[in-house]
């Protein structure tokens, strides 16, 4: 069925060149909608969204009160923001279990074999040490306890000395212990450290390596000693290693010096370096702990307390980290595989001449004197090296004496 439509033309409000047409009569659609029209009286009533949120929150609180261990379910607020992330609400902290400390190993599953000729090497070092006074002999950790009368303070002084000794020379450690004792009142005890301010401790030990960190360690260790060990030094390795700033080396040496207990070998950089130079580890050990376990596999038990003191003094005087004095060491005659072969080549050859050279400044005429013993054919090299070292031009060097040795 066709119907005539009447249209009405109206100018466009946006452009004068455009004309809009619209029907004058409302026309009913021929196709009917298939949607059902339901009256409002048949529709169920639903609660508002805000009421649902409030009911959910009240039920969650009731559940938490009845069963605190039950995991709570996050509910959405009316605005769609999770309730746990609302501003002003603190985030819940994660509860973590305390970290358990692993026990210090005392032996290898497969023992390291004893190196050949180790006894001869050990006895040779011991014989050389009889004629050497090293810093560890007069300023080691065993000297700190001698200035205390109370046995408990003697043990604590030993522990503090070892805590300060890491990455520090014995001379500096000994001076720091003495200054710390004076700063806290003349007696080095747990109570004196706890009563002292951190700034006082820091000023006393500021010459040692990592003194800021060690200041905190000393304070924290003293607090733990008072709370858990009746202000005394523990008697086991694991208990000592539970103290802040205390490692296996310090623990073993503390037991040996403070309690006279032979629990293991204290391995520091000297023991680690020298035993590797001697070829006592196959393959070479990479850490002090690996060195300790290797040595404890074969070294007799009665030598454990003394090997640290023996090798530390040997490493401070003869087997130094840089430029070891192999020419003064008896091990260079076939007992040390790392001995420098040119160590004894510095003696003059027959027919050579000893040249003494003086270097003077250009203005004063008197400056630092340099004496160099060298072979005659190395005379020119010595002049150049001396000039570069003292920053003195070659023309300022004066040859003053040439004397012959053996013809």
Catalytic one of 93, 249, 344, 369:
249
The partner residues of 398 in beta bridges, in order of sequence, read 358
Question: Parallel, antiparallel, or unpaired: how do β-strands 353-359 and 397-404 relate?
Answer: antiparallel
Reported as half-sphere exposure (CB side, CA atoms, 13 A), residue 386 has a value of 26
Confirm whether 249 is a catalytic residue: yes
Phi, psi of 355 (to 5 degrees): -115, 125
Question: Parallel, antiparallel, or unpaired: how do β-strands 19-23 and 397-404 relate?
Answer: unpaired
| d(C-alpha 289, C-alpha 278), whole Å | 18
End-to-end CA distance of the chain: 144
| d(C-alpha 238, C-alpha 246), whole Å | 10
Count of CB atoms situated within 10 Å of the CB of 235: 15
Shortest CA distance to 379 belongs to which of 400, 361, 353?
Answer: 353
- CA 59, 62, 64 angle in degrees (round to 5)? 110
Q: Which residues are catalytic?
A: 249
């Amino acid at each position: 069925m066709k119907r005539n439509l009447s249209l009405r033309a109206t100018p466009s409000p946006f452009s004068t060149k455009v004309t809009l047409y619209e029907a004058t009569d409302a026309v009913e659609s021929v196709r009917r909608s298939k949607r059902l029209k339901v009256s409002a009286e048949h529709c169920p009533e639903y609660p508002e969204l805000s009421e649902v949120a409030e009911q959910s929150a009240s039920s969650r609180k009731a559940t938490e009160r009845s069963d605190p261990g039950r995991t709570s379910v996050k509910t959405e607020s009316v605005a769609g923001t999770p309730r746990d992330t609302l501003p002003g609400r603190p985030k819940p902290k994660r509860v973590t279990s305390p970290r358990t400390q692993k026990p210090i190993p005392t032996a290898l599953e497969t023992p390291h074999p004893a190196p050949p000729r180790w006894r001869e090497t050990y006895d040779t070092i011991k014989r050389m040490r009889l004629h050497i006074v090293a810093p560890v002999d007069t300023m080691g950790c065993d000297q700190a306890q001698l200035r205390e009368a109370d046995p408990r303070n003697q043990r604590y002084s030993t522990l503090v000395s070892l805590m300060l000794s890491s990455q520090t020379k014995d001379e500096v450690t000994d001076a720091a212990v003495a200054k710390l004792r004076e700063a806290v009142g003349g007696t080095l005890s747990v109570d004196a450290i706890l009563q002292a301010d951190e700034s006082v401790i820091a000023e006393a030990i500021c010459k040692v390596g990592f003194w800021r960190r060690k200041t905190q360690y000393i304070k924290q260790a003293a607090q733990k000693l008072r709370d858990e060990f009746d202000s005394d030094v523990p008697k086991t390795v694991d208990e000592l290693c539970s103290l802040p700033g205390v490692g296996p080396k310090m623990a073993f040496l503390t037991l040996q010096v403070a309690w006279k207990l032979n629990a293991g070998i204290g391995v520091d950089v000297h023991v680690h370096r020298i035993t590797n130079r001697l070829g006592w580890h196959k393959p070479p050990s990479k850490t002090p702990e690996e060195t300790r376990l290797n040595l404890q596999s074969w070294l007799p038990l009665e030598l454990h307390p003394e090997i640290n003191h023996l090798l530390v003094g040997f490493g401070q005087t003869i087997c130094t980290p840089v430029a070891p004095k192999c020419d003064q060491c008896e091990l260079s005659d076939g007992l040390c595989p790392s001995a420098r072969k040119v160590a004894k080549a510095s003696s003059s050859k027959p027919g050579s001449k000893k040249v003494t050279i003086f270097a003077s400044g250009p203005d004063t005429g008197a400056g630092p004197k340099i004496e160099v013993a060298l072979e005659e054919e190395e005379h020119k090299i010595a002049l150049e090296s001396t000039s570069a070292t003292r920053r003195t031009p070659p023309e300022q060097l004066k040859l003053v004496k040439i004397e012959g040795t053996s013809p």
